[in-house]
Amino acid sequence: MSRFWWEKSATQKGIPWVAWDRMQFPKCQGGMGFKNLCKFNDALLARQAWRLVQYPNSVMAKLFKARYFKDSHILQASSKRYQSYGWSSLMVGINLLKQGSRFIIGNGKSVRLYEDHWLPTEPPRCATRMCNRQHLMVSDIIVATSTFQHWNLDTAQQLLNDEYFQLMLTIYLPQTKIEDTLVWPLEASGNYTVKSGYKREMMELGRQLPDLLPPRGDPVLKTKIWKLPIIPKLKHFLWRILTLALGTNTRLNTGGMSLDCLCSRCSDAPETVNHLFFLCPISVQTWRSNQVTLGFSARFTDDLENNMEYLLQLQSSSTLTMEQKLTPFWLLWKIWKSRNNLIFKNKIINPQRDGEYVTVEVRDWLEKTAQVSSTPRQIPLSPRWYPPMIPYYKCNFDAAYNPQTFHASAGWVIRDCYGVVHYWAMAFLGSAQSPLEAESKALLAAIQCAFALGYKNMIFEGDCLVLINSLTTGKGDFSIAMICNDIRHWGRKLGLLQFARVPREANVVAHMLATRCDPTVLFTSSSTFIPHWLTNVICNDYIRCA
């Protein structure tokens, strides 16, 4: 593969300027993102193992279970003395799943306390053994009643060390009866994908080979290169410039060849990559001859990365046309071609002529890529609050999250079809692992409050798209799966129920309530009194919807 990438043709071998192991780094880290085929095959096998987890009642899953892990979970399976080739291959994928998956706690009855990964860490891990008791399950540190469940703090402190005890407290325990769920944390959906499995494999390889470094060059600049609207050939070429993976005279000398290091075009200075493209007098003439086309005066320094960053920053300029923004990259390619023509074909090309060729090529590229987008334009959400239709009540909710203390608070307001406020409240929610979890807990608190007050036929509006999608489409983030299960449980008690997403501008009342919540006061509410700092906002909503 390395020779295939670097060789010039089927008969001409090239020089491997960058080691293949370094080329396998992802593009965001400065590499080319080439696959390690062995690790990629492991990720594909893990996909097959994950299907056995997803579909335990399939014929294949039942066959493997009866033969290899009859009385245990697939993650507890091990190699057997007389195993089939298929099972030995699947064991590679199962071992990958063991490393990267973890359980979301439902009732804790199927998760082993000291053997299974259930703590929310990266990478996932199990608790360190603190006692000699065998067959301990997570359910052993949970107190469950007929109506709710909570952590048994006294037992947990005896069985877990301080670090894992604090991690345990951050885990949300659902109040409804639900089984534990195995998820893949590298995907928001919780489902395993080959892409994330391969990423996990390469992360583990990076830990095993800490001395293996990515190719030279700033990864941030390289990431910008891959996003340029230019032909792929030029993107690869710009990557090679930043990586110093070009056969300039100085690079050839460092590779063991005894050559004159002077520039092949000007013979005034050593031919480094930066000198060839930016400082060589012949190249400077090429830049100056295109100054009118470029729309700017090129001023380059002795630092290669600074010069490339200068050209990339032009992409955000509002005064330059697209042709002017892209021309510098074609000029770099033309300078390299002219240099090679001089060395190998003894052809001397006028810099002015190079500039003319570049202008034609850029315009031709822009004409070929000028296409009208066929993506339908999304209709933006209205920034106004609208009252519900009869017979619904509308409850707007929101959450405030402090990333320093991990504390969350909630606010919600219930209004009728005339915009009249029936009830408002704000509550301190305690700790949350993320803003998304805070939003989910805020909605759960609002639904429980509406049920306690006897409301029916409710519309719950919030400005969190991920949360609303999780409840309406079932495609959301696995981290709030248990909270969403509780939300649906309580929602079924309210009769007619809808969830809707609105922009922040239409959710101002709930947002103010959430941000004004005092952490020292657990709950504040009223059905008659409206604070003065909330009156104007409610009136504005009422006036705009009238």
Q: Is 24 a member of any domain?
A: no
Give the C-alpha separation, 325 to 535, whole Å. Answer: 52
Would you call 520 exposed, middle or buried from its count of C-beta atoms within 10 A (0-12, 13-18, 19+)?
Answer: exposed
pLDDT at 72: 87
Q: What is the pLDDT of residues 345-385, one digit of tens each?
A: 888 877 777 777 888 888 888 888 875 444 455 556 667 88
Give the C-alpha separation, 297 to 514, whole Å. Answer: 52
DSSP string, 508-538: HHHHHHHHT--TT-SEEEESS---HHHHHHH
pLDDT at 374: 45
Q: Are residues 188 and 128 in the same domain?
A: yes
H or E element in which residue 447 lies: helix 435-452
Q: Is 335 a member of any domain?
A: yes
Give the C-alpha separation, 398 to 482, whole Å. Answer: 19
Q: Are residues 403 and 475 in the same domain?
A: yes
pLDDT at 491: 93
Residue 86 or 3, more confident = 86
Q: Are residues 62 and 188 in the same domain?
A: yes
pLDDT of 543 above 80 = no
Please tell me whether residue 149 adopts helix, strand or coil conformation. strand
Mean of per-residue pLDDT scores for the chain: 88
Q: Are residues 163 and 230 in the same domain?
A: no
Q: Is 30 a member of any domain?
A: no
pLDDT band at 4 (very low <50, low <70, confident <90, very high): low
Q: Are residues 184 and 246 in the same domain?
A: no
Q: Are residues 309 and 413 in the same domain?
A: no
**Tokens 């048994």, residue located:** 152
Q: Are residues 460 and 405 in the same domain?
A: yes
Q: Are residues 189 and 320 in the same domain?
A: no
DSSP string, 273-304: HHIIIIISHHHHHHHHHTHHHHTS-----S-H
pLDDT at 81: 84
Q: Poorest-confidence range of 31-35, 81-85, 258-262, 407-411?
A: 258-262
CATH number of domain containing 477:
3.30.420.10
Q: Is 271 a member of any domain?
A: yes
Backbone angles phi, psi at 287, to 5 degrees: -65, -45
Q: Averaged over 262-266, what is the pLDDT?
A: 87
Give the C-alpha separation, 363 to 382, whole Å. Answer: 41
pTM of the model as a whole: 0.80
Contacts of 97 (CB under 8 A, 6+ apart): 46, 49, 50, 53, 75, 184, 192
pLDDT of 391 above 50 = yes
Q: What is the pLDDT of residues 222-246, one digit of tens each?
A: 999 999 999 999 999 999 999 999 9
Q: Is 20 a member of any domain?
A: no
Give the C-alpha separation, 37 to 59, whole Å. Answer: 30
Is residue 107 a contact partner of residue 138, using CB atoms and an 8 Å limit? no
Q: Is 119 a member of any domain?
A: yes
Q: Are residues 356 and 408 in the same domain?
A: no
pLDDT at 116: 92
Nearest partner of 273 among 235, 237, 323, 310, judged by Cα? 237
Q: Are residues 196 and 241 in the same domain?
A: no
pLDDT of 1 above 70 = no
Q: What is the pLDDT of residues 207-217, one digit of tens each?
A: 888 888 889 99
pLDDT at 304: 93
Share of the chain above pLDDT 70, in %: 95
Would you call 157 exposed, middle or buried from its count of C-beta atoms within 10 A (0-12, 13-18, 19+)?
Answer: middle
Q: Is 19 a member of any domain?
A: no
Count of domains in the chain?
Answer: 3
Is residue 494 a contact partner of residue 430, using CB atoms and an 8 Å limit? no
Q: Is the dihedral of CA 462, 466, 467, 468 positive or negative?
A: positive
- Residue 536: give the domain boundaries: 393-545
Q: Is 297 a member of any domain?
A: yes
Q: Are residues 364 and 239 in the same domain?
A: yes
Backbone angles phi, psi at 361, to 5 degrees: -65, -40
Q: Poorest-confidence range of 63-77, 170-184, 340-354, 440-454?
A: 340-354
Q: Are residues 78 and 189 in the same domain?
A: yes
Contacts of 544 (CB under 8 A, 6+ apart): 384, 385
DSSP string, 341-399: HHHHS-----HHHHHHHHHHHHHHHHHHH-----SPPPPPPPSS--PPPTT-EEEEEEE
81's tokens: 């003395």
